[in-house]
Structure 1
Amino acid sequence: MNKKNHDADVTFIQALAELLRENELTELEVMREYGENDSLNVRVSRGGPQVVTQVAAPAPAAPAAPAAPAPAAAPAPEADPASHPGAVTSPMVGTVYLQPEPGAPTFVGVGDKVAEGDTLLIIEAMKTMNHIPAPRAGTVKRILVEDGGAVEYGAPLMIIE
């Protein structure tokens, strides 16, 4: 890459960061193609570091008959589930899937015991399936998202105690 492309790329990335800030977005990913075997992939996001396992898989088809959603426990009188010490929050913006494929059993349900690292759910972002692991061992007390629903960065997904 020559100096001119480098300067243009820096300007482009700064413009993306400004766009992110001005529109109050949490994440933006762009691929810029210059020619054959010459491209720039840029991902700009706000927030802390993310630990995500990415698994290349085809996007699941829209379920014809959605599986019964995982039962959620009765909401506690908490104002904000994200402030709960056992809250598992979303590391990215995307679509939540509670099972590995349509018609399969859910990864976890309310009352299930999980070990640290167990897959809790999948978040699809940019046609990539990201398995979200349990940050600690415990029991799933609440599931705060619906299968196929959209989530934002930092949104509470589950409560594990």
Structure 2
Amino acid sequence: MNEQEIETLLEKFDQSSLMNFSMVKDGFQLSLSKRDHDDVQTVPAPMTVPVTSDTKPTETQTSATETKVVDEPGTAVKAPLVGIVSLSPKPGKPTFKQPGDHVKKGEVVCQIEAMKMENEVKSPVDGVVKAILVDDQTMVEYDQPLMTITEG
């Protein structure tokens, strides 16, 4: 899709009564969502992490338009798509990973729901879950860090 097609879709979506819209075209995925003016949500307070000499910066999303750098050691597990992240287990579903849990490379650590489909997010390394960088049941962006894993 080119920029003009996206702008046209945005204008039509804004003028419509739709609250959510998602599409996939030739490997390009677009998800749009709007809120009622009465539906006021607060943005979570920025996370603060002590900086030590052995930490490396990773990025985490703090709002739809702002990216914050968080000094968190380890390997970032990033969102493979836009959607709603599930960090807590649901009845009949596998238990997802929490800080302190050991994981193996390829093991499911959480899920992202997009277009009524649940997509598994797998660990890129063996190690221990160090920190969760997003809240359960919140919208995440493509490539947004979800958690960090300390290798070993």
Percentage of pairs with the same residue = 38
Contact 1:82 1:155 in 2 (8 A): no
RMSD: 3.3
1:132 corresponding residue in structure 2: 121
Q: Find the counterpart in structure 2 of residue 116 from structure 1.
A: 105
- Using the size of structure 2 for normalisation, the TM-score is 0.56
Which residue type is aligned with residue 28 of structure 2? V
Q: Does 1:44 align with 2:44?
A: no
Cα offset, 1:81, TM superposition: 3.7
Q: Gapped runs of 5+ residues in structure 1? A: 1-15, 31-40, 47-72
State which of 61, 80, 92 in structure 2 corresponds to 1:91.
Answer: 80
Residues 75 and 20 of structure 1, relative CA distance in 2, 3 Å threshold: farther
For residues 84 and 17 of structure 1, what CA distance do their matches in structure 2 show? Answer: 38
CA gap 1:143/1:116 in 2 versus in 1, 3 angstroms:
same
Distance 1:17 1:117, change over 3 A: same
1:1-16 alignment runs, 5 A limit: 16=1
- Report the alpha carbon displacement of residue 106 of structure 1 after superposing the two structures with TM: 4.1
* C-alpha distance after superposition, 1:47-90 (max 9, x if no partner): xxxxxxxxxxxxxxxxxxxxxxxxxx973445624985511111
With the length of structure 1 as denominator, give the TM-score of the two structures: 0.53
Q: Tell me, in whole angstroms, the C-alpha distance in 1 between the residues paired with 2:93 and 2:29.
A: 32
Is 2:77–2:146's contact at 8 Å kept on the other side of the alignment? Answer: yes
Aligned AA for 1:122? Q
Residue type at the aligned position of 1:123: I
Q: CA separation of 1:110/1:128 partners in 2, compared to 1, >3 Å: closer, same or farther?
A: same
Report the count of equivalent residues. 106
Instruction: Report which of the two has the higher share of strand.
Output: 2
Note the residue ranges of structure 2 that are not aligned, 5 or more in a row.
Answer: 11-21, 31-46, 52-56, 58-67
Deviation at residue 17 of structure 1 after TM alignment: 3.5
Question: Where does residue 17 of structure 1 map in the other structure?
Answer: 2
- 1:26-50 deviations in Å (ceiling 9; x for gaps): xx624xxxxxxxxxx644149xxxx
Residue aligning to 2:49: 75
1:153 aligns with 2:142: yes
Q: Give, in whole Å, the separation in 2 of the partners of 1:146 and 1:132.
A: 15
- SS in structure 2 opposite 1:121? strand
Q: Which amino acid aligns with 1:75?
A: V
Structure 1 distance, partners of 2:122, 2:90, is 17
- 2:60 aligns with none
**Residue 107 of structure 1 is aligned with which of 86, 96, 109?**
96
Query: Structure 1 or 2: larger helix share?
Result: 1
